[in-house]
């Protein structure tokens, strides 16, 4: 299984000097497994970069993907209008997200491209599109077993666990961890995972200084959950828009002191999950951007 990071930022994009080592695009991560469609976790502005890559690889269409949406806050959907593969009739995408109250996932997504907000509505996106609404449940996408759980976030949010070939990745962002101990729902979702991607938007000091109830967690809360769930690797994710590269390096170092197998997500990061007991390879093979072989 391969996991790639196209957007690692929370809130809004940060195209500023001093923030580009980690990256300025908002949430978008891909998961590829043999025998499964391309899975895209969230459609923040990072999905634009992914889309351009896919169009270069498949100029005649034929792309099949599933977009798993944690929730519909802007930093998780704002890349959709700029995702070029949606404009080719030979491509096919399924959007899967949290079942809303009193409306549909399709209506909510179309609303982002209402004429008041964007000049091109979703009906002009000629790829085949389908929409599936879920809550706490499990289902298959080819060989991938997908499970989702409700997280603690204003308006609701889904955490995802994807498993195939004896390996598991968990994507749990936009979640407010409360209390001093591990968080039961998150630990259950992440138990024994090879790669655990978690919301570390704030430092513990920032969280204590008036950010309670805003729906996000800290690196320390990530470490507490990672330890309790017995994961192999922790990825610090959904970096605050006001944290620069130096601050993120410091956060990464602090997390590593408590949980040495921590890494702050960077745009361009690639992780290959080999699973357990499959040979001499490490469970998670990390390729940092710019260091690929
Ligand atoms: Zn977010
Ligand atoms: Zn959110």
Contacts of residue 159, defined as CB under 8 A and 6 or more positions apart, other chains included, come to 70, 148, 149, 150, 151, 170, 171, 172, 173, 175, 185, 186, 189
Overall domain count for the chain = 1
Q: How confident is the model at residue 278 (pLDDT cuts 50, 70, 90)?
A: low
Q: Is the pLDDT of residue 9 over 70?
A: yes
Distance 60 CA to ligand 2 centre (A): 35
Task: Report which DSSP code applies to 9.
Answer: B
In angstroms, what is the span from residue 159 Cα to ligand 2's centroid? Answer: 12
**Is residue 186 a part of any domain in this protein?**
yes
Q: Which band of pLDDT confidence, cut at 50, 70 and 90, is reported for residue 293?
A: very low
Q: At 277, is the pLDDT very low, low, confident or very high (cuts 50, 70, 90)?
A: low
**Residue 292 placed within a domain:** no
Candidates 198, 220, 194; CA nearest to 207 is: 220
Query: At 233, which CATH number?
Result: 3.60.15.10
CA–centroid distance, residue 6 to ligand 2 (Å)? 18
Residue 149 is encoded by which pair of tokens?
């759980």
Residue 231 forms part of a structural domain: yes
In a domain, 293, yes or no: no
Q: What is the mean pLDDT of residues 107-132?
A: 97
HEC secondary structure over 154-215: CCCCEEEEEEECCEEEEEECCCCCCCCCCCHHHHHHHCCCCEEEEECCECHHHHHCCCCCCC
Domain-embedded: residue 205: yes
Of all ligands present, the nearest one to the C-alpha of 158 is 2
Q: What percentage of residues in the chain have a pLDDT greater than 90?
A: 95
> Residue 112: what pLDDT?
97
Is the model's pLDDT at 127 over the cut of 80?
A: yes
Give the domain extent around 27. 2-287
Q: Average pLDDT of 218-231?
A: 98
pLDDT tens for 37-84 read: 999 999 999 999 999 999 999 999 999 999 999 999 999 999 999 999
Tell whether the model's pLDDT for residue 292 goes beyond 90: no
pLDDT tens digit sequence for 136-161: 999 999 999 999 999 999 999 999 99
Ligand lying closest to the C-alpha of residue 42:
1
- Residue environment code for 129-167, b if the CB has 16+ CB neighbours within 10 A, otherwise e: bebeebeeeeeebeebbbbbbebbbeebbbbbbbbbbeb
């Amino acid at each position: 299984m391969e996991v790639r990071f196209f957007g690692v930022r929370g809130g809004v994009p940060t195209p500023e000097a001093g923030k580009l080592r980690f990256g300025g695009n908002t949430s978008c991560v891909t998961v590829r497994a043999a025998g499964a469609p391309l899975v895209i976790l969230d459609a923040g502005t990072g999905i634009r970069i992914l889309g351009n890559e896919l169009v270069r690889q498949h100029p005649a269409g034929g792309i099949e993907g599933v977009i798993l949406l944690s929730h519909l806050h802007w930093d998780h959907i704002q890349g959709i209008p700029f995702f070029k593969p949606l404009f080719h009739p030979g491509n096919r995408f399924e959007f899967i997200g949290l079942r809303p109250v009193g409306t549909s996932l399709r209506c909510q997504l179309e609303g982002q491209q209402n004429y008041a907000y964007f000049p091109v509505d979703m009906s002009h996106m000629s790829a085949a599109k389908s929409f599936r609404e879920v809550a706490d449940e499990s289902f298959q996408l080819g060989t991938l077993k997908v499970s989702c759980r409700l997280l603690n976030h204003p308006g609701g949010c889904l955490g995802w666990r994807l498993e195939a070939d004896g390996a598991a990745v968990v994507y749990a962002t936009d979640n407010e961890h409360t209390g001093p101990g591990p968080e039961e729902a998150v630990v259950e979702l992440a138990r024994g995972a090879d790669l655990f991607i978690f919301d570390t938007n704030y430092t513990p000091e920032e969280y204590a200084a008036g950010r309670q109830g805003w729906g996000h967690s800290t690196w320390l809360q990530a470490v507490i959950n990672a330890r309790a769930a017995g994961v192999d690797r922790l990825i610090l994710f959904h970096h605050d828009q006001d944290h620069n590269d130096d601050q993120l390096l410091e956060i990464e170092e602090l997390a590593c002191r408590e949980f040495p197998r921590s890494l702050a997500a960077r745009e361009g990061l690639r992780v290959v999950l080999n699973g357990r007991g499959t040979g001499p390879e490490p469970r998670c093979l990390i390729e940092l951007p710019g260091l690929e072989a």
